[in-house]
Structure 1
Amino acid sequence: MIGRSGALRIGIAGIAIESSTFSPHRTTLDDFRVTRGDELLARYAFLAPGAPLTQGVEWVPLLHAVAVPGGPVTEETYEQLAGEIFELLGTAGPLDGVFVDFHGAMSVLGRTDIEAEFVAGIREVVGPEVLLSASMDLHGNVSRSLADTLDLITCYRKAPHTDAWETRERAARNLVTRLRSGGRRPHKAWVQVPVLLPGEKTSTRIEPARGIYALVDEVEAMDGVLDAAIWVGYAWADEPRCQAAVVVTGDDEQVVAAQAKRLADAYWDARDEFEFVAPTGSLAECVERAIASSARPFFISDSGDNPTAGGAGDTSYTLDLLLRMPAITELTTIYAAIVDPEVTATAVGAGVGATVSVKLGGKIDSGPCGPVPLTAEVVAIDPAGAAVVLGVGGLRVIVTARRKPYHLESDFTELGLSPRDADLVVVKIGYLEPELYAMAADWLLALTPGGVNQDLLRLGHHRIERPMFPFDPDLADPDLTPEVL
């Protein structure tokens, strides 16, 4: 179908978050940044006026919601966001396609495969003839139901995700290309691989993930193939869909099936070869090695409470240990960050230069360590009052009113902190994002407790499909024959 203007009409919608079911945090509407209309359209540089993908296409921006990863989304929040999207789709007029921009690892309380449910809701509104194309994170989950409902599906090929916007553009381009050629649905060869690994073991910076994901580009270039994708899956949710998956899309049924099996076999065969992207150790071991090292700045990832993987962001285990190590306060040390709106407000009220006595962190996720008593100087306050810096000797602790990742140098310098000049920088993160990675003279991945603990066997998964590696290390080779949908 073509719109009255003669142009293709394509809707844009999505709900994007990564949700740890092991985190006590609950994600509500306040955690989402919601964009609609022109503001949503402006989100995509590749849809700027005059761009190739706008030629002969009317893009219809509906609603997109994105949140920092966290705990499960409340049912009320999901129903409100999804309900508005479905309502907007119903009043948008005739559509030829819908570009679905989501993460793929959202969990909603009481649901088990929410992305599949979400796209099924879209399909119910727009009908069977409209093509649906989704862009996903490679840490998403792809059930059979999700793969079957979507017509086109792709995901990132880099971790860290330096190709996120490239992937969204690819999903949009594949949709437009398909519609311009008549809208014929391609074959999709789908197979799940019974492996569930944390992202910190599957970074494409190193082998074997680097080589496996290089195969994706090779497969996509083949005649008869439109797209190829491998999903690592999301390790910190306890749902049946959580495992690796492969989808190869194209017009040659035999080719897509054969290449999907090739990619699935490559991932399975490498399962024992995946290692952490950096040397690891307990937090105490990592700090001791950092202190002894001459490399500066030395970075340590506080991985168990990484907010960009779903951690609550307020686990105080690391802060407690740092305060118990005298050498830390004698060095120039930055710790980013702990979310605590109450302490942030207290510091803002006291003002820069004041001394405050507070109990910091451990109020959402109190399992590893409860609130830590702290007497500190208020060193800095950001203009919006949303973040403060508390100082104890040479230790600088960033405290935020809302959960926030610290991935960019500017995140620090806006608070008057210079990570390049620090001896030690401890960040709630997994693998270092590109700017931090380039800045670090050396770094270690601390295996700390929290809602995204890297030791998956300790978390207590009981709803994932078994057998699965590494939970069942001796399982026999599975049947990885793809199903063509």
Structure 2
Amino acid sequence: MTDIAPPRVAIIGVWLESNRQAPVAYEQDFKDFYQLEGAAILERSREANPSIMGEAAAFVKTMDATGPWEPVPILLAGCHPHGPIDGALMDKYLAICRKGLAEAGPLDAVYVANHGAMIATDRDDPDGELIALAREIAGPKARVVVTLDLHGNISERMVEQCDLIVGYRTNPHVDYVERGEEAALALRLMLAGLADPKSAFIRLPLTPASVNLLTASGPYGEMIDYGTRRRAELAGDILNVSLFGGFVFSDSEKNGVAIVVTARRDVARAQMLAREIAELGWNNHARFRKKLTPLSDAVQLALKSNRPPVIYSDSGDNPGGGGTGRTTELLSALVWAGAENVLIGSFFDPPLAKMAHEAGVGARIRACFNSHAGLPCDAPFEVDAEVVGLHHGTIVGRLGYAQGRTMHLGPSAALRIGGVTAIVISDRMQTADPMFFEMFGLDIGKAATVVVKSRGHFRSGFIPWFPPQNVYEVDTEGLTSPVLERRQWQRIPRPSYPLDEDVSWTPPEW
């Protein structure tokens, strides 16, 4: 009996969601999150609470659990949502991957762990470049499997140069592990000869803001629910259904709600289902709008007594979409109005966090928000405050989006400003988990109003206290304002709804 060699699977990835108007992402920005090569990739992936993206860790753990394999870890780099990646840095990452893949020898597969909404300072599709590189070096017989965030912007090259794309299905994203597992299990099927995937791809002229892309309800959720149900009905034919809402702030040529359906063998089956889902989405395209709460209304509601507790999304300044995490518009409005029993987080302001740590708990300080240079939206705000909490900032997410993930927020502080307690952190992250407040011993359940710099992921982390009817998305300024008409767009294909009203779409004739 001849022994069968375990499959040799390379691991590469450059994970970045790019907001074209945010500052350029350089190598230090990746190092601040993670930049791993070789064995360090496997070590980090196999940790109980990995700090890398959950789907990459789950892929490794699932391959470990399902049989022998020979991992060939080359590069995993990840950056918090930022601006375009520096073109020279992307070239460096591509060179590392090219060298590693070439020196690896014969490969059975390549796993690519990307976000999907990355742009570079000098081109719009570095995600597609990396996937095409994997195909070029590994060869036509090797399998190329990709995991992506559902906010990915999908190009034809990304689909054509791989065997399978697996996108998240939930927003807030709470299915990282499941998608990493799905990618690994699908790869095992391919390697066993039980699937020879064929994909169909449709991009709609539809570029909604992320607040319109929740999956628990609404038109996007209905598309995902339909695709999931039909996949179950066609289980013998369909390997994967991934629906990408896109990330409008990338402002790229590959923007647009995208449907990628992968059949086990018969592309006609994938084309049929992709068209069904696309038609459903387009028939409902007028529903991809949402009315925000005006700032003045949010302040007045915060001042009311005898009402249920509420949570506000500072929608214009979501660090999870490239926002600076530094805008003070909502904070200053609540302080000036005299709002009471308010928790607000989290402000990315290392100098202020340092000042609080040097002063110590109980100290009174003159808190200078945005004392260091920033963008025009990062208005300075100076106010008297009491330091009521200090923390080193290394925490493990407790609920929802960040559950089980180690986060390094750096020196952090809680500052009481009248009836408002503001959280200050030293690493720019969205406040999507209760630990951002609980690390200071603050009781979310006793607050009348909670404000978070997060677009939607906070919904899963704060659901024990705030059901959907008590959630308000406040119309604030910043790099992630959902009011798309306020922004000058450069590269999005036009016409595109909701930027344009007179838009038509014709299904492909396959």
- Same fold judged by TM-score > 0.5? yes
Q: Which residues in structure 2 correspond to 1:15-94 (within 5 Å)?
A: 15-24=14-23, 26-27=25-26, 28-36=29-37, 37=39, 38-42=42-46, 44-45=57-58, 47-48=60-61, 52-53=65-66, 55-94=67-106
In the alignment, is the contact (CA less than 8 A) between 1:339 and 1:399 conserved in 2? yes
In the alignment, is the contact (CA less than 8 A) between 1:362 and 1:369 conserved in 2? no
In the alignment, is the contact (CA less than 8 A) between 1:102 and 1:134 conserved in 2? yes
Secondary structure class of the residue paired with 1:226? strand
Corresponding residue for residue 502 of structure 2: 474
Q: Which residues in structure 2 correspond to 1:111-260 (within 5 Å)?
A: 111-181=123-193, 185-221=196-232, 222=234, 223-250=236-263, 251-260=265-274
Q: How far off is 1:273 after superposition?
A: 1.8
- The answer to whether 1:392 aligns with 2:404 is no
**Of 436, 445, 465, which residue of structure 2 is paired with 1:420?**
445
In 2, Cα distance between equivalents of 1:190 and 1:33: 31
- Match for 1:268: what amino acid? W
Per-residue deviation, residues 392-433 of structure 1 (Å, max 9, x unmatched): 122111111110222222221112222211111110011233
**Of 329, 332, 336, which residue of structure 2 is paired with 1:324?**
336
Query: Kindly tell me: are residues 285 and 464 of structure 1, through their superposed partners in 2, closer, same or farther at Cα, counting changes over 3 Å?
Result: same
- The answer to whether 1:445 aligns with 2:473 is yes
- Match for 1:34: what amino acid? Q
Secondary structure class of the residue paired with 1:439? coil
Q: How far off is 1:45 after superposition?
A: 4.4
Q: How far off is 1:446 after superposition?
A: 0.3
In the alignment, is the contact (CA less than 8 A) between 2:30 and 2:79 conserved in 1? no
- Tell me the C-alpha RMSD between the 2 structures: 2.4
Secondary structure class of the residue paired with 2:285? coil
**Of 288, 292, 297, which residue of structure 2 is paired with 1:285?**
297
In the alignment, is the contact (CA less than 8 A) between 1:21 and 1:71 conserved in 2? yes
Q: How far off is 1:94 after superposition?
A: 2.2
Corresponding residue for residue 309 of structure 2: 297
In 1, Cα distance between equivalents of 2:258 and 2:68: 34
In the alignment, is the contact (CA less than 8 A) between 2:118 and 2:124 conserved in 1? no
Q: Which residues in structure 2 correspond to 1:333-348 (within 5 Å)?
A: 333-348=342-357
In 2, Cα distance between equivalents of 1:20 and 1:162: 22
When normalised by structure 2's length, the TM-score is 0.87
- Match for 1:420: what amino acid? G
In the alignment, is the contact (CA less than 8 A) between 2:58 and 2:180 conserved in 1? no
In the alignment, is the contact (CA less than 8 A) between 1:307 and 1:429 conserved in 2? yes
- The answer to whether 1:457 aligns with 2:485 is yes
Q: How far off is 1:365 after superposition?
A: 4.7
In 2, Cα distance between equivalents of 1:364 and 1:480: 49
**Of 278, 282, 286, which residue of structure 2 is paired with 1:272?**
286
Secondary structure class of the residue paired with 1:39? helix
In the alignment, is the contact (CA less than 8 A) between 2:24 and 2:85 conserved in 1? no
The alignment-based identity, stated in percent, is 28
Please say which of residues 383-392 and 303-312 is displaced more in the overlay: 383-392
Query: Kindly tell me: are residues 49 and 220 of structure 1, through their superposed partners in 2, closer, same or farther at Cα, counting changes over 3 Å?
Result: closer
**Of 352, 359, 367, which residue of structure 2 is paired with 1:350?**
359
In the alignment, is the contact (CA less than 8 A) between 1:315 and 1:362 conserved in 2? no
In 2, Cα distance between equivalents of 1:197 and 1:51: 39
**Of 102, 117, 133, which residue of structure 1 is paired with 2:114?**
102
In 1, Cα distance between equivalents of 2:255 and 2:369: 34
In 1, Cα distance between equivalents of 2:21 and 2:444: 31
**Of 460, 463, 470, which residue of structure 2 is paired with 1:434?**
460
In 2, Cα distance between equivalents of 1:364 and 1:335: 22
In 2, Cα distance between equivalents of 1:243 and 1:233: 6
Per-residue deviation, residues 414-461 of structure 1 (Å, max 9, x unmatched): 122222111111100112331212322622110111111101121111
In 1, Cα distance between equivalents of 2:341 and 2:452: 14
Q: How far off is 1:469 after superposition?
A: 0.7
Corresponding residue for residue 8 of structure 1: 7
Per-residue deviation, residues 258-309 of structure 1 (Å, max 9, x unmatched): 1111111111111112344xx7312221121233263443211001111112
In the alignment, is the contact (CA less than 8 A) between 1:316 and 1:362 conserved in 2? no
Secondary structure class of the residue paired with 2:78? strand
List runs of 5+ in structure 2 lacking aligned partners.
Answer: 51-56, 394-409
In 2, Cα distance between equivalents of 1:170 and 1:185: 16
